[in-house]
């Protein structure tokens, strides 16, 4: 009966093996796939040898097919062991240690099987009998049979141990894979043990080939159901577990089928809770994968808000998993935590900007120093020229006074009859008018020269002196009169008497001149915008309760925006067109007033621009 069952089941088993070979064939370029193909082909040949043994019509033919079956029997164990090594991540052992060493003992066994009539090492004797219509062989075993059998069992069991040890740290996917593979390998081992040691005396046919065929069916289930040959534990053990980046494996149904420990740390998730679930059901994963194409190569940077409120910067890479045929079977998502890199990049960028700003400031300061050096040189030259002009002016004034005195003395010497009395009176009046005009002209020239001299006098040569602010304003207005004429009407409201201030007159005059010119530029801006000349400037002096002498300059310009009222005092800031301002005037003016004189210079709030300068009174 057992022979009839074998013959009935064997064709079905062969079909299952052929189906398994067809399933593995697309992956044949991989070592693990080639080993599995070798295993399935060896099992098929072993099964066919057993079938042909039963259908043999003579004892010699029956012995021949038994010998053929024993050629493929050790090949099953060898290919199984190579498959297990590759599955567990030890492919390098197969490549480096020469797998042909595994074939030495089986080759001896094959030699002893085919030379059986001349010795009793493999079989001591063979017995032929009929199981129904089928002729079969069964014999007593020699010592080499047991050596060969132990070798085969060692390879089969070792392969099973390797696969069980490759469960990937307890991942359900690898447990299922390993269970299918190990179950397939244990069935033929169990059947062979039952037959060899006659645990079932009534079982006269060796069903080990059928067991191997069932193992092929187990491989078929592992490939189709659990992704065997596409995803193996080696990827987890050697790649996923030990890298610092997070890795997610997603199948075509958008289910998460694997992740590593780094993913758990980055996303703050538990792998046991997300494995087998759709990725879009997880809040953290949905933050950066929603809307991202998972069937094409893609990379991007994004941010992730963790459950504890920490924000991470991530670099995400999408890489589809494809079979040798080009068919996409899933996606690997690699997650790099680049938070520290982004922070360092921002710090580097900020430091670079600060360095560029400082470099620009250094260049500006160098330019400023060059300008100040030129101005100091010009001031010295101007002071010398003014001094040189003052001497000729003194000679001219002295000469004119002498000439005027001579004319006043000569006119009475003219005889009364030489000209009419009326003509004499007219000449005298014209002489006095001319004399007065010349005196006023000389006086104005001398005052202008004195104002220029105060402005151009080098700072180290000056000593602070008590001055009248009203007089300093008047002197500066005289100096600036040509520039202001026709463009700016100045309205003066002076407190008199005004307490004196202890100052450097040239520096304060320079500050006043700067404020006058700023008012002029503001009025010119209104004119360019469609306004008309002249504009107005109101200058008011007074005292404060804090013991300061106060002077305000209020012009009719367009005003200064509130957010710029402090910036106008910064070095190199200017609202003028490029090339028409250095941005240093008000900065230097404030520095002179505050640092050199202990006062204040500011702009009052309001739509109309009003500069206020406050200077401390001189000691009484």
Place of tokens 């040898």: 49
**32 and 63 housed in the same domain:** yes
Average pLDDT over residues 576-589: 65
Average pLDDT over residues 518-545: 88
Q: Does this model's pTM top 0.85?
A: no
- Of the given ranges (97-101, 320-324, 509-513), which has the lowest mean pLDDT? 97-101
Q: Which of 193, 209, 233 is the last residue of a domain?
A: 233
CATH number at residue 272: 3.30.450.20
**264 and 184 housed in the same domain:** no
In angstroms, the Cα distances linking 305 to 275, 288, 314 are 21, 10, 11
* Burial readout 177-189 (b: 16 or more C-beta within 10 A, e: otherwise): bbbbbbebbbbbb
Residue 540, pLDDT above cutoff 90? yes
Average pLDDT over residues 288-306: 87
- Of the given ranges (133-137, 175-179, 342-346, 359-363), which has the lowest mean pLDDT? 175-179
Write down the pLDDT at residue 170.
Answer: 44
Write down the pLDDT at residue 318.
Answer: 92
**329 and 422 housed in the same domain:** no
**40 and 183 housed in the same domain:** yes
Q: Which of 337, 354, 376 is the last residue of a domain?
A: 337
Residue 519, pLDDT above cutoff 80? yes
Tens-place pLDDT, residues 393-422: 777 777 777 777 777 777 777 776 677 777
Q: How confident is the model at residue 459 (pLDDT cuts 50, 70, 90)?
A: very low
**14 and 107 housed in the same domain:** yes
208 occurs within a structural domain: yes
294 occurs within a structural domain: yes
Tens-place pLDDT, residues 599-617: 999 988 888 889 999 999 8
Percent of the chain whose pLDDT exceeds 90: 9
Average pLDDT over residues 162-174: 57
238 occurs within a structural domain: no
Percent of the chain whose pLDDT exceeds 70: 74
Q: Which two tokens stand for residue 548?
A: 């300061």
Q: Which helix (H) or strand (E) segment is 87 a member of?
A: helix 59-87
- Asked whether the bond before 497 is cis by omega within 30 degrees of 0, the reply is yes
Spatial distance between the Cα atoms of 33 and 22, rounded to a whole number of angstroms? 12
Residue 237, pLDDT above cutoff 70? no
Average pLDDT over residues 3-25: 74
**Domain residues for 220?**
2-233
- Of the given ranges (42-56, 263-277, 338-352, 441-455), which has the lowest mean pLDDT? 441-455
Most confident of the ranges 302-311, 333-342, 446-455, 556-565: 333-342
Q: Which of 211, 233, 255 is the last residue of a domain?
A: 233
Of the chain, the end-to-end C-alpha distance in Å amounts to 138
Q: Which two tokens stand for residue 613?
A: 């300068």
Write down the pLDDT at residue 613.
Answer: 93
Q: Of the candidates 378, 381, 364, which has an alpha carbon nearest to the alpha carbon of residue 587?
A: 364
Write down the pLDDT at residue 583.
Answer: 62
361 occurs within a structural domain: yes
Write down the pLDDT at residue 475.
Answer: 85
**419 and 515 housed in the same domain:** no
Write down the pLDDT at residue 600.
Answer: 92
Kindly report the three-state secondary structure assignment for every residue of 89-147: CCHHHHHHCCHHHHHHHHHHHHHHHHCHHHCCCCEEEEEEEEECCEEEEEEEECHHHHH
Residue 209, pLDDT above cutoff 70? no
Tens-place pLDDT, residues 373-398: 666 666 666 666 766 676 677 777 77
Write down the pLDDT at residue 450.
Answer: 67
Spatial distance between the Cα atoms of 499 and 489, rounded to a whole number of angstroms? 26
The per-residue pLDDT of the chain, averaged, comes to: 78
C-beta of residue 53 within 8 angstroms of C-beta of residue 124: no
**509 and 565 housed in the same domain:** yes
Most confident of the ranges 4-18, 160-174, 542-556: 542-556
**452 and 470 housed in the same domain:** no
Judged by DSSP in three states, 559 sits in coil
Average pLDDT over residues 268-277: 81
Beta strand 488-493 pairing with 535-543:
parallel
**111 and 123 housed in the same domain:** yes
Q: In terms of pLDDT, which residue wins out, 382 or 247?
A: 247
Write down the pLDDT at residue 378.
Answer: 64
Q: Which helix (H) or strand (E) segment is 215 a member of?
A: helix 208-226
Q: In terms of pLDDT, which residue wins out, 247 or 215?
A: 247
- Of the given ranges (120-129, 366-375, 477-486, 499-508), which has the lowest mean pLDDT? 366-375
**392 and 539 housed in the same domain:** no
Write down the pLDDT at residue 554.
Answer: 92
Q: Which two tokens stand for residue 204?
A: 């006269």
Write down the pLDDT at residue 525.
Answer: 86
Residue 207, pLDDT above cutoff 70? no
**446 and 561 housed in the same domain:** no
CATH number at residue 67: 1.20.1070.10
Domain count, the chain: 4
Residues 6 or more apart in contact with residue 288 via CB below 8 angstroms: 302, 304, 314, 316, 335
Write down the pLDDT at residue 558.
Answer: 84
**349 and 301 housed in the same domain:** no
Spatial distance between the Cα atoms of 617 and 549, rounded to a whole number of angstroms? 6
* Burial readout 430-457 (b: 16 or more C-beta within 10 A, e: otherwise): eeeeebeebeeebeeeeebbebbbbbbb
CATH number at residue 507: 3.30.565.10
Angle at 335 between CA 237 and CA 273, to 5 degrees: 65
Write down the pLDDT at residue 235.
Answer: 46
Residue 283, pLDDT above cutoff 50? yes
Tens-place pLDDT, residues 33-73: 788 888 888 888 887 887 788 778 888 888 898 888 888 88
């Amino acid at each position: 009966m057992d022979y009839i069952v074998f013959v009935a089941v064997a064709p079905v088993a062969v079909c299952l093996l052929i189906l398994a070979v067809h399933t593995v064939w697309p992956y044949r370029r991989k070592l693990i796939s080639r080993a599995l193909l070798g295993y399935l082909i060896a099992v098929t040949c072993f099964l066919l040898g057993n079938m042909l043994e039963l259908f043999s019509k003579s004892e010699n033919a029956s012995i021949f097919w038994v010998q053929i079956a024993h050629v493929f029997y050790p090949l099953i164990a060898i290919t199984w062991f190579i498959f297990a090594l590759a599955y567990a991540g030890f492919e390098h052992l197969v490549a480096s240690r020469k797998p042909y060493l595994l074939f030495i003992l089986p080759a001896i066994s094959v030699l002893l099987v085919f030379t059986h009539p001349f010795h009793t090492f493999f079989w001591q004797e063979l017995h032929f009998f009929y199981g129904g219509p089928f002729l079969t062989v069964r014999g007593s075993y020699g010592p080499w049979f047991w050596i060969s059998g132990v070798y085969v069992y060692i390879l089969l069991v070792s392969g099973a141990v390797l696969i069980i040890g490759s469960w990937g740290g307890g991942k359900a996917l690898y447990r299922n894979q390993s269970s299918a593979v190990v179950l397939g390998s244990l069935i033929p081992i169990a059947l062979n043990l039952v037959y060899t040691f006659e645990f079932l005396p009534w079982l006269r046919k060796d069903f080990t080939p059928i067991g191997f065929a069932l193992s092929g069916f187990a491989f078929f289930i592992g490939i189709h159901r659990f992704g065997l040959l596409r995803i193996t534990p080696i990827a987890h053990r050697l790649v996923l577990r030990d890298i610092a980046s997070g890795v997610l494996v997603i199948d075509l149904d958008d289910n998460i089928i694997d992740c590593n420990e780094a993913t758990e740390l980055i996303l703050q998730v538990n792998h046991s809770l997300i494995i087998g679930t759709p990725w879009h059901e997880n809040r953290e994963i949905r933050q950066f994968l929603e809307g991202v194409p998972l069937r094409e190569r893609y990379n991007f940077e994004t941010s992730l808000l963790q459950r504890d409120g920490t924000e991470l910067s991530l670099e995400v890479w999408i890489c589809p998993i494809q079979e040798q045929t080009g068919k996409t079977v899933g996606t690997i998502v690699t997650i790099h935590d680049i938070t520290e890199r982004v922070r360092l990049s921002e710090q580097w960028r900020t430091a670079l900007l600060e360095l560029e700003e400082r470099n620009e400031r250094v260049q500006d300061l160098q330019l400023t120093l060059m300008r100040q050096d030129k101005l100091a040189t010009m001031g010295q030259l101007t002071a010398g020229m003014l001094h040189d002009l003052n001497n000729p002016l003194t000679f001219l004034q002295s000469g004119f006074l002498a000439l005027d005195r001579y004319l006043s003395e000569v006119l009475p010497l003219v005889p009364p009859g030489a000209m009419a009395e009326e003509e004499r009176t007219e000449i005298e009046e014209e002489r006095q008018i001319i004399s007065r005009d010349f005196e006023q002209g000389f006086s104005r020239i001398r005052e202008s020269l004195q104002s220029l001299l105060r402005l151009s006098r080098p700072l180290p040569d000056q000593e602070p002196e008590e001055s009248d602010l009203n007089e300093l304003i008047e002197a500066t207005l005289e100096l600036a009169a040509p520039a202001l004429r026709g463009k700016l009407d100045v309205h003066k409201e002076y407190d008199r008497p005004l307490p004196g201030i202890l100052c450097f007159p040239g520096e304060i005059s320079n500050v006043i001149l700067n404020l006058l010119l700023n008012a002029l530029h503001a009025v010119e801006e209104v004119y360019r915008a469609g306004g008309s000349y002249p504009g107005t400037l109101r200058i008011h002096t007074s005292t404060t309760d804090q013991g300061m002498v106060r002077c305000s300059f209020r012009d009719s310009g367009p005003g200064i925006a509130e957010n710029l009222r402090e910036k106008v005092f910064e070095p190199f800031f200017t609202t003028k067109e490029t090339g028409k301002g250095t941005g240093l005037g008000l900065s230097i003016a404030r520095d002179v007033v505050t640092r050199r004189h202990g006062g204040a210079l500011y702009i009052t709030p309001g739509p109309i621009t009003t500069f206020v300068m406050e200077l401390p009174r001189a000691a009484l």
